[in-house]
């Protein structure tokens, strides 16, 4: 072919190739742009026989990578990784281990994802948390670990030390014995991290921790083992905090969040080194009353009537067990009496449910007779706080279904606060749920969508109370 003919071919073919290539490049750029827009964490709930289960979908660009998607069951802490294939008007998610595939569609105007899972369409909203600590906060975070003398409890935690201002005091942050981690994370909220951030900015050091297993058997503890470890770990954490050279001669107290308030009350009863205690959404009612309230709330959530016979039978069994644990019976007599209760519960159960009831009572028998759990369950937090000669703050939300404000306030007895010259301060804050979020509701979807982890009014009230107490501390 002559040189002239070759040049003519190039002039004709190259523009045609460019015309064909440009739409493909533009389509690829659109897909990449859409993948970047989808990047982030989305959350919602999916239906199940036991109610709605909270889930999260974390997407990161670029797409098509094997780990570009994380699908998380927030209730059971189950996580699956996968890939996402972004199409023109939708995307396909493939979870690697299970091979499950589902389609998601994005409503850009409302920033809403719709995931089609079988016959169900699940709406997922983008997760935003306005109280997430900044990348460069005005404080220093130090990893601190400790092991008990008997080597049966180990804690790993974060000590937060203010910088640029004097450290006025220190607070041990206590979560529920069943908390998953040191931040008491739930529904993509990290309340203890938010509380630590707020206190550090006010010049108050904090220590929050998680209990780490020290043996293979401790990885899946019973409720009894969890409670026993929680109180031992709290005592170890308080001693660890007291020994830090940065906090020499400082006021050190405890802040209990949720059921961490019961651990805080136990610590006040057993340690003489607690200078103050603040309880945030921590029910103070007797454990049998709380158990009945929780069961009835769970029944309502599942659509079962509160007069359901099996439900009331379970409540009566728990109340009788707690009454036994409070009695001064010796161990052998207590075992015999509890066995009679468990046997009656098995006989009262419907024949179809007897095997399940037998397994449940076997687990309860093993747990309820543990000495550590017996002491923990029979402790009366209100009596402990009344007898303590330290400042006490208790904040509740009036939308908390687990225990009403009035019941908690009556449990602490307002007259005791007057008698102790204001040593005990109790407040019921409006439109706050049991997680102290200002959403006026306690349902899972509302909490997932909430951008605020802990209502600013709670943090302000806590800090103001601490500042007043620290000024009056000799």
Domains of the chain by start residue, with CATH: 35-126 (2.40.128), 139-286+380-472 (3.40.50.1820), 288-376 (no CATH)
**Burial category of 223 from C-beta neighbours within 10 Å (exposed 0-12, middle 13-18, buried 19 and up):** middle
The CB density around residue 466, as the number of other CB atoms within 10 Å, is 24
pLDDT at 4 over 60: no
pLDDT at 118: 73
User: Which pair of structure tokens corresponds to residue 301?
Assistant: 């959530």
DSSP state of 69: E
- For residue 438, which of 182, 112, 130 has the smallest C-alpha distance? 130
Look-up of token digits 């083992």: 225
Residues 6 or more apart from 87 whose CB is under 8 A from it? 31
Residues 149-161, mean pLDDT to the nearest whole number = 90
pLDDT digits (tens, 9 = 90+) for 443-468: 788 888 899 999 999 999 999 999 99
Confidence of residue 359 (pLDDT cuts 50, 70, 90): low
- With b for 16 or more beta-carbon neighbours within 10 A and e for fewer, the 143-171 pattern comes to ebebebeeeebbbebbbbbbeeeebbbbb
d(CA 462, CA 368): 35
Confidence of residue 6 (pLDDT cuts 50, 70, 90): very low
Which residue would you say has higher pLDDT here, 322 or 142? Answer: 142
d(CA 241, CA 274): 11
- For residue 381, which of 368, 396, 399, 394 has the smallest C-alpha distance? 394
Rounded to the nearest angstrom, the gap between the alpha carbon of residue 171 and the centroid of all alpha carbons in its chain is 19
Residues 340-351, mean pLDDT to the nearest whole number = 69
**Burial category of 207 from C-beta neighbours within 10 Å (exposed 0-12, middle 13-18, buried 19 and up):** buried
d(CA 256, CA 377): 17
Percent of the chain with pLDDT over 70: 72
- Integer CA distances (angstroms), 97 to 67, 69, 117, 122, in order: 11, 12, 17, 22
pLDDT digits (tens, 9 = 90+) for 254-269: 999 998 998 999 999 8
pLDDT digits (tens, 9 = 90+) for 31-75: 555 667 788 899 998 887 767 889 898 888 655 566 788 888 888
pLDDT at 5 over 60: no
Residues 6 or more apart from 383 whose CB is under 8 A from it? none
Mean pLDDT check: name the lowest of 3-17, 37-51, 163-177.
Answer: 3-17
pLDDT at 198 over 90: yes
Confidence of residue 362 (pLDDT cuts 50, 70, 90): low
d(CA 398, CA 401): 8
- Residue 429 pairs in a beta bridge with 397
Mean pLDDT check: name the lowest of 20-24, 93-97, 220-224, 382-386.
Answer: 20-24
Rounded to the nearest angstrom, the gap between the alpha carbon of residue 256 and the centroid of all alpha carbons in its chain is 13
d(CA 465, CA 454): 17
CA dihedral of 289, 291, 297, 300, whole degrees rounded to 10: -110
Residues 151-161, mean pLDDT to the nearest whole number = 92
pLDDT at 366: 60
- Residue 243 pairs in a beta bridge with none
pLDDT digits (tens, 9 = 90+) for 98-146: 778 888 888 877 788 888 877 778 888 899 998 888 778 889 999 999 9
Mean pLDDT check: name the lowest of 116-125, 208-217, 220-229, 379-388.
Answer: 220-229
Computed over every residue of the chain, the mean pLDDT equals: 78
d(CA 191, CA 186): 8
Residues 80-107, mean pLDDT to the nearest whole number = 82
Q: Is the dihedral of CA 291, 296, 299, 305 positive or negative?
A: positive
Query: Are the beta carbons of 412 and 424 closer than 8 angstroms?
Result: yes
DSSP assignment of 387-413: H--S-EEEEEETT-TTS-HHHHHHHH-
User: Which pair of structure tokens corresponds to residue 195?
Assistant: 């509380």
Query: Are the beta carbons of 162 and 139 closer than 8 angstroms?
Result: yes
User: Which pair of structure tokens corresponds to residue 65?
Assistant: 């990578």
Confidence of residue 271 (pLDDT cuts 50, 70, 90): confident
User: Which pair of structure tokens corresponds to residue 390?
Assistant: 């330290």
pLDDT at 431 over 70: yes
d(CA 317, CA 299): 17
Query: Where is 113: in which H helix or E strand?
Result: strand 112-117
Which residue would you say has higher pLDDT here, 102 or 302? Answer: 102
pLDDT at 7: 46
Residues 366-391, mean pLDDT to the nearest whole number = 77
pLDDT at 26 over 60: no
Look-up of token digits 């974060």: 158
pLDDT at 410 over 90: no
Highest mean pLDDT (candidates 16-30, 195-209, 272-286, 325-339)? 195-209
pLDDT at 331 over 80: no
Mean pLDDT check: name the lowest of 45-54, 139-148, 180-189, 383-392.
Answer: 45-54
d(CA 85, CA 397): 44
Residues 356-383, mean pLDDT to the nearest whole number = 68
d(CA 86, CA 103): 10
Q: Is the dihedral of CA 373, 379, 381, 386 positive or negative?
A: negative
User: Which pair of structure tokens corresponds to residue 14?
Assistant: 């190259």
d(CA 287, CA 284): 8
């Amino acid at each position: 072919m002559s040189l002239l003919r070759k040049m003519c071919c190039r002039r004709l073919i190259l523009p045609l190739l460019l015309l064909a290539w440009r739409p493909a490049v533009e389509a690829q750029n659109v897909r990449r742009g859409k993948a970047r827009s989808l990047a982030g964490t989305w959350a919602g709930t999916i239906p199940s026989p036991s109610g709605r289960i909270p889930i999260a979908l974390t997407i990161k660009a670029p797409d098509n990578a094997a780990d570009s998607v994380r699908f998380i069951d927030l209730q059971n802490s189950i996580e699956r990784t996968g890939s996402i294939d972004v199409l023109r008007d939708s995307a396909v998610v493939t979870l690697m281990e299970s091979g499950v595939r589902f389609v998601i569609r994005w409503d850009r105007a409302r920033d809403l994802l719709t995931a089609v899972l079988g016959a169900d369409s699940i709406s997922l909203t983008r997760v935003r948390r306005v109280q997430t600590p900044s990348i460069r906060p005005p404080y220093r975070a130090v990893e601190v670990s400790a092991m008990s003398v008997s080597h049966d409890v180990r804690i790993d935690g974060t000590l937060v030390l203010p910088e640029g201002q004097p450290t006025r005091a220190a607070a041990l942050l206590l979560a529920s014995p069943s908390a998953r981690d040191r931040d008491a994370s739930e529904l993509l909220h990290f309340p203890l991290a938010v509380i630590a951030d707020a206190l550090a900015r006010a010049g108050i050091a904090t220590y929050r921790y998680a209990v780490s297993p020290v043996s293979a058997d401790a990885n899946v503890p019973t409720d009894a083992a969890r409670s026993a470890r929680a109180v031992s770990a709290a005592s170890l954490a308080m001693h660890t905090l007291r020994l830090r050279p940065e906090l020499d001669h400082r006021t050190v107290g405890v802040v209990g969040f949720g059921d961490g308030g019961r651990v805080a009350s136990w610590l006040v009863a057993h340690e003489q080194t607690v200078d103050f205690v603040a309880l945030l959404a921590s029910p103070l009612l007797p454990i049998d009353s709380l158990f009945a309230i929780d069961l009835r709330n769970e029944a309502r959530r599942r659509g079962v009537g509160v007069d359901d016979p099996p439900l009331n039978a379970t409540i009566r069994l728990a109340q009788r067990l707690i009454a036994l644990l409070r009695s001064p019976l010796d161990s052998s007599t207590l075992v015999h009496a509890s066995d009679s209760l468990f046997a009656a519960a098995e006989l009262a159960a419907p024949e179809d449910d007897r095997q399940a009831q037998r397994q449940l009572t076997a687990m309860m028998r093993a747990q309820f007779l543990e000495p550590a759990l017996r002491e923990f369950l029979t402790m009366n937090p209100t009596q402990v706080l009344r007898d303590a000669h330290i400042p006490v703050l208790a904040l509740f939300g009036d939308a908390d279904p687990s225990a009403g404000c009035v019941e908690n306030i009556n449990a602490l007895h307002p007259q005791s606060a007057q008698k102790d010259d204001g040593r005990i301060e109790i407040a019921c804050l409006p439109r706050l749920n049991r997680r102290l979020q200002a959403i006026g509701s306690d349902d899972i979807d509302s909490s997932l969508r909430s951008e605020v982890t802990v209502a600013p009014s709670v943090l302000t009230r806590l800090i103001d109370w601490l500042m007043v107490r620290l000024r009056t501390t000799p």
